[in-house]
């Protein structure tokens, strides 16, 4: 398979590497909060549309590198919730909800997004001031960078709560920024996503029909999720409906095809640049040498899978190994470890979530029939019948259960769901001996607080 269909030439790749090197140097200064020299990127770069295209590719490269939005975000919050445990004691801090302020993974979940945000801000500022660019290209570029910025902020606030809202490239200002309320960050996320929705293309032509670049529908899908998290039920329903009704681009696939490059269910995916299989599969699947998986389901998730005998997701999206009289169950949404095969792409957003967003939004508005229909769309694909839930409260619990199964081990969904619905204390308090309400937020990394004295710490952490 040809790599990066949106590259036009070797020249564009060379320019991209040059630009990205400069940008990443600036990102490092931002993250480390060190005094720096000139932060100016050569303005001539932003007079060349080919070079700018390279910088946009760099945003996705940064999101996918280091496995932060695939392995990290799909496993550490799964430990914090009731989805996964680990064979060994490596991640006991997460599993026991007693995370250390010096934990490297937490540090990466903070610093890596801010590095990407800084790259996005460089592109927004540089493209806005660039000459020799068509108005349409300028607006499209800014829209894509603003989508990426909104995406990063969405995960930052759902992991850490209040965070600095960095919207420019002034490093001296950025390194003393205070944490802004979640509500203010959500307002910026919505502003960025509305701009992206209005100005991004409605197809995937820019990436050669692969779904590895954000478009109007990725912005719409993230808007639907954002409105749901803010309890704006009508807006969440409307945005999810817009995606669901675009049947020319999107449709629920068979379970075995959901995470493939050609999947109509995919709204946004990450391309396997280096080895042809997902970092998620590499981390999660047992190795041929050591048959015992490391990342395994908790009893709570196993029981949820077993609740309905006919649920096809249990057989296709999980596997069980009996090793030395111990039974291990682990996720198998991604199965390929074949070099250069590219039979799976890590899927960041997909259509089934939009059905579940709309089901929840409709239930909250007492649209019982509509909520039941949306739940049935997801359940029917799994070989199940209609939900017996038939009133608001029962439907909300049914949505919670479907999200637990359908979105298990995907980018923190279960962890975020329990927190945003106010169910974390009840569910995790019953599942974990050491659960405290303060554990709902991860600590602000200690090294970031040492560099920026204006950063406060979340309650419950020294």
Residue 133 lies in a domain: yes
Residue 89 lies in a domain: yes
CA angle 186, 189, 195 (to 5 degrees): 145
Taking the C-alpha atoms of residue 235 and residue 203, their distance in angstroms, rounded to an integer, is: 23
Q: DSSP label at 252?
A: P
Write the CA distances from 46 to 117, 120, 186, integer angstroms: 18, 13, 29
Tokens of residue 250, six digits: 């999107």
Q: Are 355 and 374 in contact (CB under 8 A)?
A: yes
Q: What is the pTM of this model?
A: 0.92
Phi, psi of 186 (to 5 degrees): -60, -40
Residue 298 lies in a domain: no
Dihedral sign for Cα 136, 140, 146, 150, please.
Answer: positive
Q: Are 236 and 227 in contact (CB under 8 A)?
A: yes
Of residues 218, 226, 217, the one with CA closest to residue 246: 217
Torsion angle in degrees (nearest 10) through CA of 262, 223, 7, 15: -150
Residue 7: count of CB within 10 angstroms of its CB:
17
Residue 438 lies in a domain: no
Provide the residue-wise pLDDT of the chain in tens; the chain has 462 residues: 434 444 333 333 434 444 444 444 444 444 443 323 333 455 667 888 888 888 999 899 889 887 788 899 999 999 999 999 999 999 999 999 999 999 999 999 999 999 999 999 999 999 998 888 999 999 999 999 999 999 999 999 999 999 999 999 998 898 899 999 999 999 999 999 999 999 999 999 999 999 999 999 999 999 999 999 999 999 999 999 999 999 999 999 999 999 999 899 999 999 886 789 999 999 999 987 888 999 999 999 999 999 999 999 999 999 999 988 999 999 999 999 999 999 999 999 999 999 999 999 999 999 999 999 999 999 999 999 999 999 999 999 999 999 999 999 999 999 999 999 999 999 999 999 989 999 999 999 999 999 999 999 999 997
Helix (H), strand (E), coil (C) string for 305-334: HHCCCCCCHHHHCEEEEEECCEEEEEECCC
**Cβ partners under 8 Å of residue 237, min gap 6:** 357, 358, 361, 362, 365
Residue 121 lies in a domain: yes
Taking the C-alpha atoms of residue 260 and residue 347, their distance in angstroms, rounded to an integer, is: 8
Provide the domain limits for residue 108. 8-156
Residue 272 lies in a domain: no
Predicted pLDDT at 288: 78
Predicted pLDDT at 42: 59
The three-class DSSP label of residue 180 is strand
Predicted pLDDT at 406: 98
Q: Are 27 and 119 in contact (CB under 8 A)?
A: yes
Residue 376 lies in a domain: no
**Cβ partners under 8 Å of residue 405, min gap 6:** 304, 305, 311, 313, 382
Residue 152 lies in a domain: yes
Predicted pLDDT at 67: 79
Domain count, the chain: 1
Q: Are 369 and 239 in contact (CB under 8 A)?
A: no
Taking the C-alpha atoms of residue 90 and residue 213, their distance in angstroms, rounded to an integer, is: 34
Predicted pLDDT at 258: 98
For the chain, give the number of residues: 462
């Amino acid at each position: 398979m040809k790599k990066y269909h949106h590259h036009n030439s070797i020249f564009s790749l060379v320019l991209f590497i040059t630009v990205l090197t400069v940008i990443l140097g600036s990102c490092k200064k931002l993250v480390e909060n060190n005094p720096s020299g000139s932060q100016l990127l050569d303005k001539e770069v932003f007079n060349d549309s080919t070079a700018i295209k390279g910088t946009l590719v760099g945003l996705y490269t940064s999101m996918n590198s280091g496995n932060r939005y695939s392995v990290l975000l799909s496993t550490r919050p799964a430990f914090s919730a009731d989805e996964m445990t680990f064979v060994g004691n490596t991640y006991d801090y997460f599993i026991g909800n007693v995370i250390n302020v010096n934990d490297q993974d937490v540090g990466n979940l903070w610093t890596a997004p801010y590095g990407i945000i800084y790259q996005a801000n460089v592109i927004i500022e540089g493209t806005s001031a660039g000459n020799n660019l068509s108005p349409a290209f300028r607006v499209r570029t800014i829209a894509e960078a603003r989508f990426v910025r909104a995406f990063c902020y969405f995960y930052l606030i759902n992991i850490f709560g209040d965070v600095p809202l960095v919207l420019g490239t002034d490093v001296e200002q950025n390194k003393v920024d205070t944490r802004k309320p979640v509500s203010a960050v959500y307002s910026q996320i919505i502003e960025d996503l509305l701009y992206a929705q209005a100005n991004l293309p409605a197809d995937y032509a820019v990436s050669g029909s692969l779904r590895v670049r954000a478009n109007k529908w990725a912005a719409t899908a993230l808007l639907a999720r954002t409105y749901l998290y803010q309890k704006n039920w009508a807006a969440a329903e409307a945005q999810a409906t817009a995606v669901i009704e675009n049947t020319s681009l999107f449709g629920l696939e068979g379970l075995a095809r959901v995470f493939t490059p050609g999947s109509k269910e995919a709204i946004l995916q990450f391309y396997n640049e280096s080895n042809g299989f997902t970092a998620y599969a590499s981390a999660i699947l047992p190795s041929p040498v050591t048959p015992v998986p490391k990342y395994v389901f908790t009893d709570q998730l196993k029981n949820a899978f077993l609740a309905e005998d006919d649920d096809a997701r249990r057989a296709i999206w999980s596997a069980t190994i009996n090793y030395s009289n111990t039974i291990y169950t682990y996720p198998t949404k991604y199965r390929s470890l074949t070099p250069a095969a590219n039979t799976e792409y890590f899927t960041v957003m997909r259509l089934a979530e939009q059905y579940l967003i709309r089901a929840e939004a409709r239930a909250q508005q007492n649209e019982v029939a509509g909520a039941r229909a949306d739940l049935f769309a997801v359940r029917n694909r799994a070989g199940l019948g209609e939900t017996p839930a038939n009133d608001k409260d029962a439907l909300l619990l049914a949505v919670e259960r479907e999200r637990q199964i359908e979105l298990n081990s995907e980018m923190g969904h279960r962890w975020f769901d329990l927190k945003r619905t106010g169910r974390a204390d009840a569910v995790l308090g019953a599942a974990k001996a050491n659960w405290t309400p303060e554990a709902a937020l991860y600590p602000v990394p200690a090294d970031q607080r040492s560099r920026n004295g204006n950063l406060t710490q979340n309650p419950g952490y020294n």
